[in-house]
Amino acid sequence: MWLQKPGIVNDHLVLLGTRENNIYLLKGDVDMLVGGGCQWIVRELMQQIQTWKIDMQRVKYLFVGHSHFDHCGAVPFLQRRYPHLQVLASRQAAKYFTMPKAVKNARIFGRQALQQMGASNDFEGISLDFDTIQVKRVLQDGDRVDLGQGMMAFFVETPGHSRCAMTLYLKKQKWLFPSDALSLPITDGRQFVCTASESFVDYINSLDRLDALEVELCAWEHFGLMTGDHVRRIIPRVKQSTLAYKQMLKTHVEQSGDVEATARWAARQWLAQTQFKFIPFDVMHHICRQMVQNAMKEKLTDEDQ
């Protein structure tokens, strides 16, 4: 089953945000938001909180899986609106949130996304501009947070999409929250768009780590969550897809003789497959240029398998 429409999934899980940009609510004795979303989903998010009578005073934590603007953009607003929220993030992400250039870029990208999605730059008098995020707890690989009622969150460092990427896993429930550390499902949910934007080597190594986990529910921060047959052997399928994509980029460069042309082609294809209107072409072009360069220079031991 593939759930993309926001709503109450079960007694311990709520899917929030929009189809394209998700945040999750984990419910125990205390609650946790998973994902920081983009600014343009704030209006929908606040309406959902009201409609589903979510008690934000019970929400103690907000976990940011990585520091890209579409996964942390709503956090400054949420910290202004709910000062008691304790933000959890990796060491690299926490460092990023203190870097003036990084904050400036996130602010620019967030404003562009708001404009592109036709959303205003404030909500109920509170600015949606990106600002420094105050991280309450810096997470390390293997850390855990007990929400009560059997909801024990484990954190796994999963670089490859970004240096700061971290995945949340609930062992008892077999629920995986990879943010963008796992390629995004498209079409029928059995095809994927690659998210190995930082390093194919690190990305594959992270997938190998995740493959040791039992997964019965996988909840991305784009395009919702999957259960049942859709997530059976999800990690090996994503790995196979990633290796095939790397080879495709390499072949395209070898045939065209032009890295830039391949990057532009890859960016157009990626945006066409996802239909993400909130990511400008020039940003996606930059990301794809890095992926193409990595596809040419990085060596993987299992590429020939």
pLDDT digits over 73-128, tens only?
999 999 999 999 999 999 999 999 999 999 999 999 999 999 999 999 999 999 99
Q: Residue 206 sits in a domain of what CATH number?
A: 3.60.15.10
Residue 15 and residue 2: Cα distance in Å, rounded?
12
Q: Is residue 135 part of a domain?
A: yes
Residue 303 and residue 305: Cα distance in Å, rounded?
6
The pLDDT value recorded for residue 189 is 86
Residue 188 and residue 285 in one domain: no
From 218, 234, 250, the end of a domain falls on 234
Residue 137 and residue 25 in one domain: yes
Across the range 138-164, mean pLDDT stands at: 98
The pLDDT value recorded for residue 232 is 87
pLDDT-derived band at 305, boundaries 50, 70, 90: very low
For the chain, give the mean pLDDT: 96
Residue 28 and residue 142 in one domain: yes
Q: Is residue 136 part of a domain?
A: yes
Q: Is residue 305 part of a domain?
A: no
Q: Is residue 302 part of a domain?
A: no
Residue 14 and residue 71 in one domain: yes
Residue 302 has pLDDT above 70, yes or no: no
Query: SS3 letters for the chain?
Result: CEECCCEEEECCEEEEECCCCEEEEEECCCEEEECCCCHHHHHHHHHHHHHCCCCHHHEEEEECCCCCHHHHCCHHHHHHHCCCCEEEEEHHHHHHCCCHHHHHHHHHHHHHHHHHCCCCCEECCEECCCCCCCEEEEECCCCEEECCCCCEEEEEECCCCCCCCEEEEECCCCEEEEECCCCEEECCCCEEECCCCCCHHHHHHHHHHHCCCCCCEEEECCCCEEEHHHHCCHHHHHHHHHHHHHHHHHHHHHHHCCHHHHHHHHHHHHHHHHCCCCCCHHHHHHHHHHHHHHHHHCCCCCCCC
% of the chain at pLDDT higher than 90: 96
Residue 42 and residue 172 in one domain: yes
Q: Is residue 304 part of a domain?
A: no
How many structural domains does the chain have? Answer: 2
Q: Is residue 303 part of a domain?
A: no
Structural domain of 266: 237-297
Q: Is residue 109 part of a domain?
A: yes
Across the range 24-37, mean pLDDT stands at: 98
Residue 207 and residue 286 in one domain: no
Q: Is residue 206 part of a domain?
A: yes
Residue 150 and residue 168 in one domain: yes
Question: Cβ(25)–Cβ(208) under 8 Å?
Answer: no
Residue 114 and residue 126 in one domain: yes
Residue 180 and residue 157: Cα distance in Å, rounded?
12
The pLDDT value recorded for residue 126 is 92
Residue 215 and residue 242 in one domain: no
CA distances from 202 to 16, 159, 180, 198, 301 (A): 30, 6, 13, 8, 12
Residue 287 and residue 197 in one domain: no
Across the range 268-291, mean pLDDT stands at: 96
Contacts of residue 188, defined as CB under 8 A and 6 or more positions apart, other chains included, come to none
Residue 253 and residue 175 in one domain: no
pLDDT tens-digit series, residues 224-265:
999 998 898 999 999 999 999 999 999 999 999 999 999 999
Residue 135 and residue 10 in one domain: yes
The pLDDT value recorded for residue 303 is 59
